[in-house]
Amino acid sequence: MESTRASGSDQPLDATVAVIDLPVRFAETDAMGIVHHSNYLVWFEAGRIAWMAAAGMPYSEIAAGGHHFAVTSVNVAYRTPARFGESVRVATRLTRLRSREVAFAYEVRRAGDDAFLASGVSEHICVDLQGRTAKIPDEVMAQLRQGTVAPANGA
């Protein structure tokens, strides 16, 4: 699989884990002086979009093809808060791939010192433009399946 760079990533994406670095946005902080917990879902989303791009199947193409991966559940465990001035590193893995479902796992670390900040999981069903559950299109499935296999060259 072609190795690509996600925005701001310090390291190339490999075939099984997508890693992106995101500088904390001031707008993401709250009056506690830390990143508001809702933003982690946005970071997870950026992580799985980077994973799909690295798997050769940009989510924008899936959407343009008339399908979406609707979120059916999310879990987040928050350990250490992220703060403005830091960058977070989101590592994303595909953990389930079925005919109509996918699931991803996420780990968020502080980019500077690799401190563990949070982890989470999201589950998705494939839906069509009318929001009805649908089979994941074959070409999408093929790319996603490829994304779960580390390339021979270990790149």
Chain residues that interact with a copy of itself, rule: CB under 8 A? 7-8, 21-23, 25-27, 29-34, 36-39, 41-42, 45-46, 49, 58-61, 63-64, 68, 70-78, 81, 83-85, 87, 131
User: Among residues 33 and 154, whose Cβ is nearest to a copy of itself?
Assistant: 33
- 5 φ/ψ angles, rounded to the nearest 5 degrees: -110, 130
- Confirm if 104 and 113 have CB atoms less than 8 A apart: no
CB of residue 53 vs a copy of itself: minimum separation in angstroms?
9
For the chain, what is the radius of gyration of the CA atoms? 16
Measuring CA to CA, how many Å separate 106 from each of 66, 81, 149?
26, 16, 18
Instruction: For residue 30, indicate whether it is catalytic.
Output: yes
14, 21, 30, 114: which is the annotated catalytic residue?
Answer: 30
User: Among residues 77 and 152, whose Cβ is nearest to a copy of itself?
Assistant: 77
Closest CA to 139 of 67, 17, 70, 57: 57
User: Among residues 48 and 93, whose Cβ is nearest to a copy of itself?
Assistant: 48
